[in-house]
Amino acid sequence: MGSGAGSFFKVILKNFDVLAGPLVSLVYPLYASVRAIETKSPVDDQQWLTYWILYSMLTLFELTFAKVLEWIPIWPYAKLILSCWLVIPYFSGAAYVYEHFVRPLFINKQTVNIWYVPKMKDFFSKPDDILTAAEKYIAENGTEDLQNIINRADKARTSNRYMSYTENHDHDHDYNHDYWH
């Protein structure tokens, strides 16, 4: 019976990547994603959306280079370690990879758009509403930057009111002056 248990553990260890891979890269992220949807926090939503983007990219990489990866015996273990690093929130691997490698490919950091213009990004996405746009701006630039923009807008609106009042008042004065003279 001892040799039967020993051979069972040998099989488990030999196929550890095959058993643990789906648990780490699919089962737990699916569970965590459902929990994230049910919470109000955008932080966990971002973690799992980021993970699924990276998982998709990794899967595309594997499909593209499958013949080459077959010749790399440590690839399944490297993929398992990478998946653990991406999945475990303590490491924030998904956020790190996204911020440093993926995001710069899709976002031009030199373009700053502070004006809200709702638009359809593509056929499958819904248009942003003003709250979504504000949340994105805060996430990218911080609340202090948004507050500065609001303060500038308030100052501009206040100065426009003053200008409108003085222009109307001056116009009335000119009208009265022309009427009486």
Q: What is the separation of C-alpha 59 from the centre of its chain, rounded to a whole number of angstroms?
A: 19
pLDDT digits (tens, 9 = 90+) for 115-137: 555 555 555 555 556 667 777 77
CA angle centred on 82, ends 76 and 84, rounded to 5°: 105
Tokens of 149: 């923009």
Tokens of 2: 């001892």
Tokens of 112: 């700053």
9 has a pLDDT exceeding 90: no
Average pLDDT over residues 34-39: 91
CB 137 within 8 A of CB 146: yes
Phi first, then psi: give them for residue 108, nearest 5 degrees. Answer: -90, 105
62 has a pLDDT exceeding 90: yes
The confidence score (pLDDT) of residue 66 equals: 92
Phi first, then psi: give them for residue 21, nearest 5 degrees. Answer: -55, -55
Give the Cα separation of 14 and 8 in Å (integer): 10
45 has a pLDDT exceeding 60: yes
